[in-house]
Structure 1
Amino acid sequence: MKLLKTLAAAAMLAVVASAAQAEDVTLGNLTLSKTWTRATPPKAMAGGGFVEITNSGTEADRLIAASSPAAKKVELHEMAVTDGVMVMRPKEGGIEIPAGETVALQPGGLHIMFMGLNAPFEEGTEIPVVLTFEKAGDVEIKLSVEKMGAKGMGHGNMKLGQDGMKKDGN
């Protein structure tokens, strides 16, 4: 009986962990992974989107635009500290993805900015986004909506109890 409970807990852990990881999307030499966003409060008008982009090619590419039916306007943004003040602004000219490197769009840095949300981002859903690259073209990804305030996606944010069930981790 103890072995059966252990096997059931291990199976549940595998299901929860695999559900928490979005599948990578490949477009030419680019691989997009760790695609996520945070849940937003009911009346929020903006949200951020995050993704890692790996360029396995021999030439740089550039992320030049983003769009989504989830918001009236979508821009590529950067956050930076200027004279001791954190500022957020559109990333003019897009985001370069150097050959052989990975660029992470993440909280506190480069990110996708959704403005004029059509509805709140609800935890457990997905937000469709089309990213446009200068050379590789367009690709649709889905951002997994994590809980409000999440610092990352998937099982990196979740805690499992002794029974193997997901518990609130942050």
Structure 2
Amino acid sequence: MRIVVIASCLLAGCAGAPAEKQPISTIGIDHMVIPAVPEVGGPVAAYAGFDNRGSEDRLLGIDCTCAASVELHQVIRNGGQVSMTNTFPLALPMGRTEVKPPGVPLHFMLIGTNRAFSAGQRVPMRLRFERAGVIDVVFTVAEDSKGGWERWRPD
């Protein structure tokens, strides 16, 4: 009987303890688009828009089970030569930042894909931000990335 009373008092004390504060995200993410690609193993571009309603933040990286890694490519033109460099992290000042088709100067690149991407499919990814923390999102596969961007609608 005494053990039950002590356990009840301990549980009641835990119930009154303040909950740990969770960060409130100030980053809105939209236009999450991947073009349809039937081949497996190659690189595949991805795009998204970001609305930062808080202080400056940075997108540190993206994780997905659909590829070995995800890079942020910056297209660099030097005369007739075109090259791409991985430029994570992505600075997100307050306001709107778009990584949109046609992918110049920026696009996300799924490296070492382990699946094909067919129009209409949904692809979950985890975005890691310096301040906003981790945000899970779902990208939509479109026939073409530019059309997918233009026709994108929230769920």
Asked if structure 1 preserves the Cα contact closer than 8 Å seen for 2:40 and 2:114, the reply is: no
5+ residue gaps, structure 2, are 1-23
What secondary structure is seen at the aligned counterpart in 2 of 1:153? helix
CA drift of 1:151 comes to 1.1
SS of the residue 2:84 aligns to: strand
1:47-86, Cα deviation, whole Å (9 max, x unpaired): 01110001111x2000011110000111222223223422
Aligned pair 1:95/2:94, yes or no? no
Seq. identity, %: 24
TM-score, scaled relative to structure 2: 0.74
Instruction: Determine the structure 2 residue equivalent to 1:37.
Output: 34
1:48 partnered with 2:36: no
Greater than 4 Å deviation, 4+ residue runs:
none
| 2:49–2:97 CA contact under 8 A, matched in 1 | yes
The TM-score normalised by the length of structure 1 is 0.68
**Equivalence for 2:132:** 136
Aligned-residue RMSD, C-alpha: 1.9
Which aligned pairs between 1:100-115 and structure 2 lie closer than 5 A? Answer: 101-106=95-100, 107-115=103-111
Count of matched residue positions in the alignment of Structure 1 and Structure 2: 127
Q: Distance in 1 between matches of 2:51 and 2:151?
A: 20
Q: What is the SS of the residue equivalent to 1:41?
A: coil
**What residue is the counterpart of 1:6 in the other structure?**
none
The separation in 1 between residues aligned to 2:31 and 2:44, in whole angstroms, is 17
Inter-partner Cα distance in structure 2 for 1:127 and 1:108:
23
Aligned position for 2:9: none
> Do residues 76 (structure 1) and 68 (structure 2) align?
no
Q: Compute the displacement of 1:42 (Å).
A: 2.3
SS at match of 2:145: coil
Do 1:65 and 1:131's aligned partners in 2 also have CA atoms closer than 8 Å?
Answer: yes
- 5 Å-filtered alignment, 1:117-128, equals 117-128=113-124
